[in-house]
Structure 1
Amino acid sequence: MFIVSLIFFVLFLPSVSVSYANTLFLHIEGKNDTLSIYAETGTQTKSYQVKRLQDIEALYPLLQRRQIDRNSFEQLLRELGIEVFEPIHTFIESSSEIGFVMAENLVKLPLDLLYVKEIPLFLQKPITYSFTKINSQNLQFSNTLSALIISDKTADPENGTYFLKKLLPSSAEYYDIKDINLTQLESIQTKDVILISAHGRIRFDNNDCIGLGDEQISPSHLARLSPKLVYLDSC
């Protein structure tokens, strides 16, 4: 079974000068079957193209299949990883984190799932996806943050999400997914952090959602809460 963890950092940063330290930013554009990449660090830049966009777009649909040949899938991740990341392997090795700056229609590309030296990229470096350059170090965690936590025991059997409740005992609202519905969700006030572990789906037709019983949580339900950080764990 392949588990897909989706981490979306929604950072509202002050309009001041920030240091990107050793962050490697990869600006991603796409047209037809061509992926255009502009890589930049504090000292180097490189532009190149990879004609495998459709194969990368097909990765999530492949993961959704009930039966998938793991060896073939991993080999595809290796091949795509070589084509996408080999031209900038020295950039990757010297970076402390990687920020994918995505065109809006490409934000669902699972680029961090691709292999670099036989290991998925997301297991080697901290990763962010955004529409503009961000600095993850600007997000400061504090016990004064407010939080919304929703856990589906079938997706979170060890109840790992409750760890955040322990960190924020007085400011975090915790719900078992069986104890909340959309009406209740829509009545919740603004939260700094949202953490949801539940079953969901990702598509390329702007119809993404997370299951909430017989209902569905859509991006608009979460955007209304104006969070600074959203962590979605879905399988």
Structure 2
Amino acid sequence: MTKFTDHSFLKDLAMLRSPTSSYTFLSYLHEHNRLVTFINRGSFIPSRREYSDYLIWAAEKVAHEPGVLVHYGERVLSIQSDDLVVSVTSLSESEHPVKRVRRGKHLVIAPGGTPRVPPSLSALAVRAPSRIIHTSVYAHRVDGIMHDILSDIIFKRPSTTTESGSTNFRPVPEVLLGIQARLIPSNHSPSDDSPFANEIFDPASTDFFFNLNNKEARSEAKREYENTNYGVVNPNTPAKVSSTGILCAMAAEPYLRPES
């Protein structure tokens, strides 16, 4: 994907804690011989695909650390604690399921974000799963969706025939240009990435948020920072869509240079 992430590479997995850590984004670039290329881009915001690859690299790096055991594809059945030891019982989701019990002094739970489809679109998403999806599954579904769209354009809709006998189908770039119209700053406010708004992402803000004394106070704090760089459109995204839209439009309708 070419969409930009919403934060600087300096907010990686280790930089704020230890700039010399081998798990930084710069270490990833250096190991893959792409550090100079990244610097020459003139932007310190990595692409979403590049940052995703960095996360995969870091996960594999952790899995190979001495004394570290990493298991994927397991469903947690129960969690028990006696104030001294935490016991987690899990079942592997494989052809031959294996139940495991792990014990330790500490347990960290990181469920991540929960995809949400607005109620007004939920029913439509059920009836047309190939056309209405959540962005969390975009990378896995986009190839199938584009195949359906192209099939619909080529095989189901009336086409026009030019004098030369060639058939012209409705150009796909119209879709991109439609998206561009919905992403321009006049319709969607760009993110507030000022130093003041970004203070909410400082490590100290974690204590501030969880020390708020009631649910209403937390909700008010969340509303106050809704326009931070994780809540709305990144200013880089409309510019990227605009540039891509222009190039696609030119490719769909090439102009003729006057003969000299």
* Structure with greater proportional strand content: 1
TM-score (norm 1): 0.25
The structure with the largest helix share of the pair is 2
Q: Identify the structure with bigger relative contact order (alpha carbons < 8 Å, sequence gap 6+).
A: 1
Q: Which has the larger radius of gyration?
A: 2
